[in-house]
Structure 1
Amino acid sequence: MKAWLSFTCSDGTHVAHGEPLRLCAEFAATLPQTIAIGVNCTAPQWIPALIAELKLASDKPILVYPNSGEIWDAEARCWRGTGDPDSFANQAQSWFKAGAQMVGGCCRTRPEHIRRVAANSRQQTATTPLAP
């Protein structure tokens, strides 16, 4: 059975448990079942650095499924920030350019976030000339 492996990260270089993402991804890449490696349930601000770490660790396709960008305020018991679908979609373009082959969404992303990512990707593909 083939699988992709995804890690939740707490910053631009570490998985949530504390280990370096690069080491985890290097190990994951050795497993014959692994067809892609990525990060999920992670703040969008860390995605560019995490893509760079994944590229150093493996030549497997990279996937990213970040959160919307909102932050949970435990004291007020509410989400802070906008989690704007347009902002998320614009960031996604930079993730593709950085090396992500697949982009999705995790916590607090909604269908509209993914629609905007898809629309931007289609538009980018339609306006990008093919190399000779």
Structure 2
Amino acid sequence: MIRGVNQVVLYVEDQEVAKRFWVETLGFALDQDEPYGDERWLSVVSPDGATKLVLSKRQPGWTAPEVRDGIPHSNVFFYTDDVEKTYRELTEKGVDFPEPPSKQFFGWWSMFSDPDGTRYALGQRWGTSQG
């Protein structure tokens, strides 16, 4: 039986810049950084230890999906226990938030961008407070 998601590939322009962003700024743990054929296998693990992100070099000609403003580019949604607190902490570290926290019918959410401008959703974990 499938039990969950183990890893997700994120396409990045510069793996070194992405590594610093995900590890130093967002607090993910470095998992692997090894040669992989003619490329580099670079992965980080979420602070809860549940998900590995493979930071893969974008291939020439790759473009982010076109989406309207206010919508993430990525299908990967991240969670936190307190969206407003995380927004304040990460904004102080220079993370761009095209969408500040707001309460929606489905709960609290926000949206942040990585150094390449890829937008990711950030939601409140189910079952936590913040009404």
Higher strand share: 2
Instruction: Return the TM-score normalized by structure 2.
Output: 0.25
Higher helix share: 1
Instruction: Return the TM-score normalized by structure 1.
Output: 0.25
